[in-house]
């Protein structure tokens, strides 16, 4: 491998870095879902939306959020008191 190839490979993002870009904050999820940041924190704390904490900060996998919303739209599923059950965001 020549020097140019070594440098090109070094500066390209790895698969790990690309997959990390799917993690978003409560503010970003709130903007996407048109909900307040505090509502996102409440939903995450109660387990109604998937997320995890790093220290005091919540992070969300956008793919998991989108999958949850798609599953809620699927027929023959009962979601009970889920606050997002009737929510249908606009497609980006």
Q: What is the mean pLDDT of the chain?
A: 77
Residue 30 confidence (pLDDT): 94
The pTM is what?
0.59
Q: Which residue has the higher pLDDT, 71 or 82?
A: 71
Evaluate the CA torsion angle 70, 28, 33, 56 in order and state its sign.
positive
How far is it, in rounded angstroms, from Cα 62 to Cα 64?
5
CB 18 within 8 A of CB 33: no
Work out the pLDDT band at 12, boundaries 50, 70, 90. low
With a cut of 60, say whether residue 28 has pLDDT above it: yes
Residue 22 confidence (pLDDT): 86
């Amino acid at each position: 491998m020549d020097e140019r190839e070594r440098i090109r490979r070094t500066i390209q993002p790895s698969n790990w870095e690309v997959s990390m870009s799917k993690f978003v904050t409560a503010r970003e999820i709130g903007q996407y879902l048109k909900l307040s940041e505090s509502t996102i924190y409440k939903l995450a704390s109660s387990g109604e939306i998937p997320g995890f904490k790093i220290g005091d900060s919540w992070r969300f996998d956008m793919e998991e959020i989108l999958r949850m919303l798609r599953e809620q739209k699927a027929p023959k599923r009962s979601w009970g008191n889920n606050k997002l059950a009737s929510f249908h965001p606009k497609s980006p």
